[in-house]
Structure 1
Amino acid sequence: MSIAESFERVQRAYADGERRPLLGYLASLCSYGALVGVATAVGRQRGTRLPERFSAGDTVLLALATHKASRLVTKSSITSVLRAPFTRYEEPAGLAEVKETVRGHGVRHAVGELVTCPFCSGVWMAGAFTAGLVLAPRATRLVMTALSAVAASDWLHLGYDAAKK
């Protein structure tokens, strides 16, 4: 039995008649692994040493920036142009956010899931920011600080609106 036939058998057994893009998920996982590998190779080639630990401040900054970046990529009206090849607009989903459904099959469907799910894309964002903290800490902290400020501003806007009611 070939690898393709074996994968198809696993796909059928796993999906039980549902359309689940396992091959697309595999491509996404391989892409993520390749990007981590490239970041590692760049770090090694430059002689960059991993920090002993990250500070509590960096961890909070990382969390807030990851949250905001993943919301911007997956839900923001303005970034819908980036998601459009993989999604279909459904309706507004709150303040400056939209609800979209995934379209397509295989890799296109898997990418659609990634770019519409803040939980899924958060892993990619956190990975990129973490690599940035190792390879280019000053620039990365600058970007993370700006994103964290926007996240805090969002919460202040929501709190202000709630207080008016």
Structure 2
Amino acid sequence: MRTPEAPSTARENAERAVDAVQDEADTYRNGEDRPLGGYAVLMSVYLTTVGTLGAVAARRGRAMPRPDAGDLVVTALASHKVSRIVSKAAVTSPVRAPFTKFDGPGGPAEVMEQPRKSSRIRHAVGELLACPFCLDLWTVTAMVFGRVYAPNLTRLVAGSFAALTGADFLHLAYAKAQQIAEG
């Protein structure tokens, strides 16, 4: 028979641990709506994916790429453009729609959106999909593993998106020059 002084059960210990984690999360949030559990799920997905792809590449003896300065520039430009298209382009809004809601127009051919907050995971995914800075990590990682598994195709795709980034900046510079010329 168990007495009140007896050691805690595993269930009681688990409940105390959950309560402690919840207290820490509440303290961190400081009254704001921060989906820490959703962030933890996204981090787990990212780390599991990277770990799995890295382990498979190592097991298959695939060489890790050694990018030169040109590769880094192309990857940066391409990642910028891909993350911008996924997170801001009006035409990709159907991809974001389950996780975000329209907030208004943004830059040229772009929209502003806010994450939906009906669940912690939906909120976290909404923040990820509406933030080009947040998506950069995922797009750079995809391009790095693309260079491991399909280097020629990845170079072609990255080069195309890098060129598109350059074209976008030329459009903006042209529009600005046109404004200056028109007074």
Cα distance in 2 for partners of 1:11, 1:158 equals: 43
Deviation at 1:94, TM superposition (A): 1.8
CA distances 1:73-96 after superposition (whole Å, capped 9, x unpaired): 100000100000111101111200
Normalization by structure 2: what TM-score? 0.86
1:54-69 correspondence to structure 2 within 5 Å: 54-69=67-82
Which residue in the other structure is 2:172 paired with?
158
Say if 2:151 is the partner of 1:137.
yes
One-letter amino acid matched to 1:135: Y
Which residue in the other structure is 2:7 paired with?
none
Say if 2:78 is the partner of 1:74.
no
RMSD over aligned CA atoms reads: 1.1
Cα distance in 2 for partners of 1:36, 1:99 equals: 30
Cα distance in 2 for partners of 1:94, 1:118 equals: 13
Q: Relative CO higher for 1 or 2, CA cutoff 8 Å, sep ≥ 6?
A: 1
Say if 2:73 is the partner of 1:84.
no
Identical columns (%): 44
Normalization by structure 1: what TM-score? 0.95
Which residue in the other structure is 1:21 paired with?
35
Cα distance in 1 for partners of 2:157, 2:24 equals: 42
Cα distance in 2 for partners of 1:92, 1:132 equals: 33
Q: Which structure: larger Rg?
A: 2
Moved more, 39-48 or 115-124: 39-48
Gaps of 5+ in 2: 1-12
Cα distance in 2 for partners of 1:135, 1:4 equals: 41
- Count of residue pairs brought into register by the alignment: 164
Q: Which runs of 4+ in 1 moved over 3 A?
A: none
Which residue in the other structure is 2:116 paired with?
103
Cα distance in 1 for partners of 2:60, 2:146 equals: 14
Which residue in the other structure is 2:18 paired with?
4
Deviation at 1:4, TM superposition (A): 2.5
Cα distance in 1 for partners of 2:18, 2:125 equals: 21
Cα distance in 2 for partners of 1:129, 1:49 equals: 15
One-letter amino acid matched to 1:148: A
